[in-house]
């Protein structure tokens, strides 16, 4: 069984306030003398399901095309931590983890916090992650944290504490995943970023494959 956990990229989809709206316009149109359709895309690298690069939150950080791919491929645990409040705390995560699977914790974790992903509206009040959660996950050897919200830090954050904790721990980040229909448990994650050599993030097509 394959779960597609990527929101659709469409004109009019909600984007971070002030960020570039997603747009696709025709550059060539298949008609008369032209044998093909070719579009022109305008989008933020944080459109839809995406991987943040260190460059997003560190001046000297790597662009997304230069990061290791290992975090984006492999065993992963989906954890349900619905409606945690302003910040998901370590106690909340640990309680949720106890219900999400048995056996050793995989090196990737995806946190579901929405009961329904906001496909058509911008949610200014999405929950962030307490940096203590990130540090604890890093201590467990985590390679990647994924969330179904627009960011690891609340929308009004200026200090980006959760992102900086990720930087400290050397972890990778996925955001805007749609986990509405994914039961808690273990899966194989497949969500590779594009090899964009100058950008602070990349869209991904994120999927989860059931383990045999």
Copy the structure tokens of residue 116. 């329904």
| Residue 175 is labelled as binding a ligand | yes
Binder of residue 19, out of ligand KYN, Zn ion, none (CB less than 5 to 8 A by kind)? ligand KYN
Q: Which span sits near Zn ion by CB under 5 A: 31-39, 105-113, 132-140, 174-182?
A: 174-182
Q: Does 149 bind ligand KYN (CB under 6 A)?
A: no
Alpha carbon distance 52, 207 (integer Å): 17
Q: How far is residue 174 from each of residues 33, 35, 90, 193, measured CA to CA in Å? A: 43, 38, 19, 10
Shortest distance, position 68 Cβ to ligand KYN, whole Å: 18
Q: Taking CB within 5 to 8 Å according to partner kind, which of ligand KYN, Zn ion, none is near residue 44? A: ligand KYN
Binding mask 48-87 for Zn ion (x = CB under 5 A): ----x-----------------------------------
111 membership: H or E segment, kind and range: strand 108-112
User: Residue 55, SS3?
Assistant: helix
Decide: is 44 part of the binding site for ligand KYN (CB under 6 A): yes
Type and span of the H or E element at 163: helix 161-169
- Regarding 175 and contact with ligand KYN (CB under 6 A), the answer is yes
Q: Is 19 annotated as a binding residue?
A: no
* Residue span 92-131 as binding mask against Zn ion, x where in contact by CB under 5 A, dash where not: ----------------------------------------
Give the span between the Cα atoms of 197 and 65, in whole angstroms.
Answer: 5
Sign of the CA dihedral with 9 first, then 42, 194, and 163 last? negative
With contact defined as beta carbons under 8 Å apart, do 166 and 144 qualify?
Answer: no
Give the footprint of ligand KYN on residues 55-94 (CB under 6 A): 56
What SS3 class is residue 71?
A: helix
Q: Which does 43 bind (CB under 5 to 8 A by kind): ligand KYN, Zn ion, none?
A: none
Catalytic residues: 56
Binding site for Zn ion (CB under 5 A): 46, 52, 151, 175, 201
């Amino acid at each position: 069984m394959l779960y597609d956990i990527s929101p659709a990229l469409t004109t009019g989809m909600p984007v971070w306030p002030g960020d570039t709206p997603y747009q696709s316009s025709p550059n060539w149109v298949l008609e008369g003398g032209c044998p093909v359709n070719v579009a022109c895309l305008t989008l933020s690298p944080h459109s839809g399901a995406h991987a943040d690069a260190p460059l997003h939150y560190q001046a000297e950080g790597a662009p997304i095309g230069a990061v290791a791919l290992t975090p984006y491929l492999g065993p992963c645990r989906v954890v349900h931590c619905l409606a945690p409040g302003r910040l998901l705390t370590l106690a909340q995560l640990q309680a949720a983890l106890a219900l999400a699977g048995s056996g050793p914790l995989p090196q990737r974790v995806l946190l579901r916090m929405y009961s329904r992903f906001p496909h058509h509206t911008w949610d200014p009040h999405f929950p962030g992650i307490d940096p203590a959660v990130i540090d604890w996950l890093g201590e467990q050897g985590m390679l990647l944290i994924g969330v179904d919200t627009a960011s690891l830090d609340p929308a009004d954050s200026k200090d980006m504490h959760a992102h900086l904790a990720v930087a400290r721990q050397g972890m990778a980040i996925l955001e805007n995943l749609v986990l509405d229909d994914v039961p808690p448990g273990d899966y194989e994650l497949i969500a590779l970023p594009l090899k964009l050599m100058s950008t602070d993030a990349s869209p991904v097509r994120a999927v989860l494959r059931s383990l045999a």
